[in-house]
Copies of this chain bind each other. A is one copy, B any other.
Amino acid sequence: MCAHCTVRQLSVCAALPDEDIGRLEAIMRTRSIEPGERLVEEGAPRRHVFTLTSGMLRLSSDLPDGRRQIGDFLLPGDYLGLADETIYAQTAEAVTASTLCSFAVKDMEALMASSPPLRDRLYSLTRRALQEARESQMMLGRLAPVEKVASFLLLLSRRLQRHGQPGNPLSLSMSRTDIADHLGLTIETVSRSFTKLKMQGLIVLPEPHLVEIRDRAALIAVAGLSIEA
Interface residues of A (CB under 8 A from B): 61, 63-65, 67-69, 71, 82-85, 89-90, 119, 122-123, 126-131, 133-138, 140-142, 181-184, 224-226
Contact = CB atoms under 8 A, between A and B. Distances in A.
28 contacts: A61-B134, A63-B138, A63-B142, A63-B224, A65-B224, A67-B142, A68-B142, A69-B138, A71-B134, A71-B137, A82-B127, A83-B127, A83-B131, A83-B134, A84-B127, A84-B131, A119-B123, A122-B123, A123-B123, A123-B126, A126-B127, A129-B130, A130-B130, A130-B133, A137-B140, A141-B182, A141-B184, A142-B181
A181 B89 CA distance: 25
B63 A184 contact: no
Contact of A134 (B89, B181, B184): B89
Contact of A141 (B69, B90, B128): B69
